[in-house]
Amino acid sequence: MKQRIYNFSAGPCTLPLPALQRAQADFVDYQAAGMSLIEMSHRGKHYDEVHYAAMANVRELLAAPQSHDVLFLQGGATLQFAMVPMNLMTGGKTAEFLNTGTWAKKAIADAEKIGATRVIWSGETENFTRIPVKDEYRLGADAAYLHICGNETIGGIEYHEYPNTAAVPLVADMSSHIMSRPVDWSRVDLAYAGAQKNLGPAGLALVIINKTLLEKCKDDLPAYLSYKTHAGKDSLYNTPPVFAIYMMKLILEWVKSEGGLAEMEKRALARSGAIYDTIDASEGWYRCPVDRASRSRMNVCFRLPTEELEQKFIAEALEAKFSGLKGHRSVGGCRASMYNAMPVEGAERLAEFMLKFKKDNA
């Protein structure tokens, strides 16, 4: 490999090179065991160390308190769209939602199949360009929980502060901004995330659940679909996705060695700031469709004056070794996804490329 490309894909996405290299070096003969990690029993000493170290890394980096359990599941964030209502819709209560875009909608659609739901705010008429402020919605007296999507990966909008739901449990899909900033756990009762952005390879989903909420979860679910099954067995009820968990362990070790979430947040601000500043300074040539206060630090969405120019931009960017800049097919335009492993320099180079492209094409 001559040069590592700047990969702006929304996920799977760029991962820290030191973690990839470490996995490569350790792959065939894991710790001189005469076999690789993915050939070993998940009940043996080597995997045991990986499993609990990965869990400890999650806890330490996110400062997840002992009041919360950390679970490793499969099925991506998508299975959580169903597992959350299956486990949490109890006592005839209603699941409430803030509808901020594609991913919130998917969570709503699955919950509707499980039980009573209510959307208490929707950004649909505004094309999902912003996160609601607290006075715009009111929780019902019969709310089982409030579900939010912390960062809408496709629309490029992000909560910079989570709602304070008081006694109503808050459930947050953190798939595309977990580990990019500290979390206030006093506000979050259940967080879930597919791994393939800031945690590791696809195939693993992380769930962090308040134990008080866990105790109230449904008891009569099929084994895999019940949070209680996994919590009671330290996520070793069945065979976990061992390689994905091992990769997450390495990636989180890298995050720690780089300075943890405070540093990740600083870098996220620097990266996204470099692109937003370029957009804002372009006198409307580049346009960000998103409300300024809701701009995502992970997924920067932008438009060019025409679709033809957008296609040219994406093609020329790829030639210049910037990949993954095409917006999601459902919304079009361009999108630069910049997760933890994207160096600040990558964003700065992209900003320079944007300036030059404008100069050549405006």
CB of 171 to ligand PMP, least distance (A): 12
103 carries an active-site annotation = yes
Token pair of 71, please?
A: 């679970």
Question: To 10 degrees, the CA torsion angle through 115, 140, 184, 69?
Answer: -30
Phi (first) and psi of residue 319, to 5 degrees: -60, -35
Calculate helix-pair angle for 344-361, 307-319, nearest 10 degrees: 130
173 carries an active-site annotation = yes
**Selected catalytic residue, list 105, 173, 189, 358:** 173
Binding residues for ligand PMP (CB under 6 A)? 11, 76-78, 103, 149, 153, 173, 175-176, 194
CB of 66 to ligand PMP, least distance (A): 27
Q: In the chain, how long is the greatest CA-to-CA distance?
A: 63
Measured in whole angstroms, the distance separating CA 248 from the mean position of its chain's CA atoms is 13
Task: Please identify, using beta-carbon distances, which residue of 194 and 324 lies nearer to ligand PMP.
Answer: 194
Quick check: 64 and 70 in contact, CB under 8 A?
A: yes
Distance CA 72, CA 245 (A): 8
Task: Please identify, using beta-carbon distances, which residue of 105 and 249 lies nearer to ligand PMP.
Answer: 105
Task: Please identify, using beta-carbon distances, which residue of 173 and 253 lies nearer to ligand PMP.
Answer: 173
Question: Smallest Cα–Cα separation from 313: which of 4, 15, 101, 8?
Answer: 8
Task: Please identify, using beta-carbon distances, which residue of 19 and 206 lies nearer to ligand PMP.
Answer: 206
Measured in whole angstroms, the distance separating CA 265 from the mean position of its chain's CA atoms is 14
Residues involved in catalysis: 103, 173, 197
